[in-house]
């Protein structure tokens, strides 16, 4: 659920109600003021977004690393035919229990695996071919649309 109301008080109420309705719901909430971030988290928001904090970070990144920001924007918006996607390994799929290499994720027609986030939250950036995929792992890959589709089919 996404709560993007213009009142932090209303946002807290919405998050509290949604969390009470569904304890497992993934909730993203907008915080108008930086001091409201903690309140939203305590109310049960999974993630909080502060437009002012984000804008400040963005301005700092643009001042320090403008070329990197341009490249990441291109990837994020799918321009130039290249994108970054998240794919979840689920129980019973052909990739579960296999290494990246054995699952076929290192083939030339597959997307480049940038990272694997394990269920416990640990992230393996640029994982080796011997990294083993388990149920609930999140694979983050970079590639063309065809490469991303090929990778997604290997994870099903």
pLDDT at 132 over 90: yes
State mean pLDDT over 93-101: 92
Instruction: Enter the pTM of the model.
Output: 0.73
pLDDT attached to residue 34: 86
Overall residue count recorded for the chain in this entry: 156
pLDDT at 78 over 80: no
Give dist(CA 154, CA 90) in Å, integer: 12
Dump pLDDT digits (tens) for 5-63: 999 999 999 999 999 999 999 999 999 998 899 999 999 999 999 998 899 999 999 99
> Six-digit token pair at 55?
């804008």
Domains of the chain, each with CATH number or no CATH: 2-53 (3.40.50.720), 76-154 (3.30.70.1450)
The pLDDT confidence band at residue 84, using thresholds 50, 70 and 90, is confident
């Amino acid at each position: 659920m996404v709560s993007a109301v213009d009142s932090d008080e209303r946002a807290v109420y919405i998050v509290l109600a949604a969390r009470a309705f569904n304890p497992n719901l993934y909730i993203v909430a907008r915080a108008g003021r930086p001091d409201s971030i903690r309140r939203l988290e305590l109310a049960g928001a999974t993630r909080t977004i502060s437009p002012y904090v984000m804008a400040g970070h963005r301005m700092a990144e643009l001042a320090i690393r403008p070329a990197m920001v341009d490249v990441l924007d291109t990837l994020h918006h799918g321009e130039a035919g290249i994108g970054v996607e998240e794919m979840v390994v689920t129980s019973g799929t052909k990739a579960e229990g296999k290494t990246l290499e054995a699952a076929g994720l290192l083939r030339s027609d597959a997307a480049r695996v940038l990272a694997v986030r394990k269920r416990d939250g640990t992230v393996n950036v640029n994982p080796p071919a011997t990294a083993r995929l388990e149920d609930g792992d999140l694979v983050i890959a970079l590639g063309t649309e065809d490469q991303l589709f090929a990778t997604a089919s290997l994870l099903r």
